[in-house]
Structure 1
Amino acid sequence: MLSFINSAELFSLILTLATVITGGVFFLDKYRWQPQQEKETGVTDKEQTGWVAQARSMFPVLFAILIIRSFIIEPFQIPSGSMQPTLLPGDFIGVEKFAYGLHDPVFHKTLIPTGKPQRGDITVFIDPENPKIDLIKRIVGLPGDTVIYRDKTLYIKPACNGQKVCPAAYEVPKQFVGVTKFTELGTDLDEYKEHLGNVEHHILRDPNLPEMYSRYYQQPGSPVGEWVVPKGHYFAMGDNRDNSLDSRYWGFMPEQNLVGKATFIWISFTFNHNPDSSCPSWLPNGVRFNRIGAIH
Structure 2
Amino acid sequence: MKATPTVLVGRRPPKSPWLAVNLSAALPGVGQMYDGAIARGLVLFALHLGLIGFVLWSIFAPGGNTLRGLLSLVPLLGLYLFNLWDSHHAAKRGITLDQFSPLRYQSKDPWYPVFLSQVLPGLGHLFLQKAAIGATLLILGILTAYLANFNPALLPLTTVIWAVGCGLVYRAAPVRQRQWGWLGLLLVAIVVTRLAISSIPFVVPQMVVQCIVPSESMLPTLEVRDRIFVRPQPADYTPAIGDIVVFSNPERTPPSQAGELYNLMVKRVVALPGQQVDIRLGQVWIDGSPLVEPFLAEPIRYEWGPAMVPEGHLFVLGDNRNQSRDSHVWGFLPRPHLVGNAYKIYWPPQRVQPLT
Q: TM-score range by the shorter chain?
A: 0.5 to 0.7
Q: C-alpha displacement at 1:59, in angstroms?
A: 6.7
Q: 2:245 aligns with which of 88, 105, 123?
A: 123
Structure 1 portions without partners, runs of 5+: 1-13, 46-56, 102-109, 158-168, 174-193, 195-200, 214-223, 269-286
Q: Is the 8 A contact 2:274 2:311 kept in 1?
A: yes
Q: C-alpha displacement at 1:204, in angstroms?
A: 2.9
Are 1:293 and 2:328 an aligned pair?
Answer: no
Q: What corresponds to 1:141 in structure 2? A: 271
Structure 2 portions without partners, runs of 5+: 1-146, 174-179, 184-192, 254-261
Alignment of 1:141-180 (within 5 A): 141-157=271-287, 169-173=288-292
Match of 1:242, SS state, is helix
Distance 1:205 1:255, change over 3 A: same
Structure with greater strand percent: 1
Q: What corresponds to 1:52 in structure 2? A: none
Structure with greater helix percent: 2
Q: Is the 8 A contact 1:18 1:62 kept in 2?
A: no
Q: Is the 8 A contact 1:247 1:253 kept in 2?
A: yes
Q: In 1, Cα distance between the equivalents of 2:353 and 2:290?
A: 31
Are 1:89 and 2:224 an aligned pair?
Answer: yes
Q: In 2, Cα distance between the equivalents of 1:140 and 1:16?
A: 39
1:238-291 CA distances to partner (integer Å, 9 max, x unpaired)? 0000000001111111222211111111112xxxxxxxxxxxxxxxxxx6x1x2
Q: Is the 8 A contact 1:82 1:241 kept in 2?
A: yes
AA matched with 2:153: V
- RMSD of aligned Cα (Å): 3.6
Distance 1:225 1:63, change over 3 A: same
Compute the TM-score of the two structures, normalised by the length of structure 1.
Answer: 0.52
Q: What corresponds to 2:325 in structure 1? A: 245
Q: In 1, Cα distance between the equivalents of 2:226 and 2:198?
A: 26
Q: In 2, Cα distance between the equivalents of 1:256 and 1:58?
A: 37
Q: In 1, Cα distance between the equivalents of 2:270 and 2:149?
A: 34
AA matched with 1:258: L
Q: 1:204 aligns with which of 283, 290, 297?
A: 297
Q: Is the 8 A contact 1:19 1:59 kept in 2?
A: no
Are 1:235 and 2:315 an aligned pair?
Answer: yes
Q: In 2, Cα distance between the equivalents of 1:254 and 1:130?
A: 13
Q: In 1, Cα distance between the equivalents of 2:211 and 2:219?
A: 16
Q: What corresponds to 1:66 in structure 2? A: 202
Q: Is the 8 A contact 2:282 2:299 kept in 1?
A: no
Distance 1:205 1:17, change over 3 A: same
Match of 2:199, SS state, is helix
Q: C-alpha displacement at 1:294, in angstroms?
A: 1.2
Q: In 2, Cα distance between the equivalents of 1:253 and 1:15?
A: 37
AA matched with 1:144: G
Q: Is the 8 A contact 1:119 1:141 kept in 2?
A: yes
1:125-159 CA distances to partner (integer Å, 9 max, x unpaired)? 111111240110000010111111124321111xx
Q: Is the 8 A contact 1:80 1:89 kept in 2?
A: yes
Q: In 2, Cα distance between the equivalents of 1:263 and 1:120?
A: 12
Percentage identity across aligned positions? 28
Q: In 1, Cα distance between the equivalents of 2:244 and 2:151?
A: 31
AA matched with 1:253: L
Aligned residue-pair number: 184
1:158-208 CA distances to partner (integer Å, 9 max, x unpaired)? xxxxxxxxxxx21223xxxxxxxxxxxxxxxxxxxx2xxxxxx4113378x
Q: C-alpha displacement at 1:19, in angstroms?
A: 1.2
Q: What corresponds to 2:7 in structure 1? A: none
Match of 1:205, SS state, is coil
Q: What corresponds to 2:76 in structure 1? A: none
Match of 1:266, SS state, is strand
Alignment of 1:8-19 (within 5 A): 18-19=151-152
Q: What corresponds to 1:257 in structure 2? A: 337
Q: C-alpha displacement at 1:78, in angstroms?
A: 1.1
Q: Is the 8 A contact 1:15 1:62 kept in 2?
A: no
Match of 1:65, SS state, is helix
Q: C-alpha displacement at 1:62, in angstroms?
A: 5.6
1:87-120 CA distances to partner (integer Å, 9 max, x unpaired)? 11131111122xx32xxxxxxxx4xx4x310001
Q: C-alpha displacement at 1:42, in angstroms?
A: 11
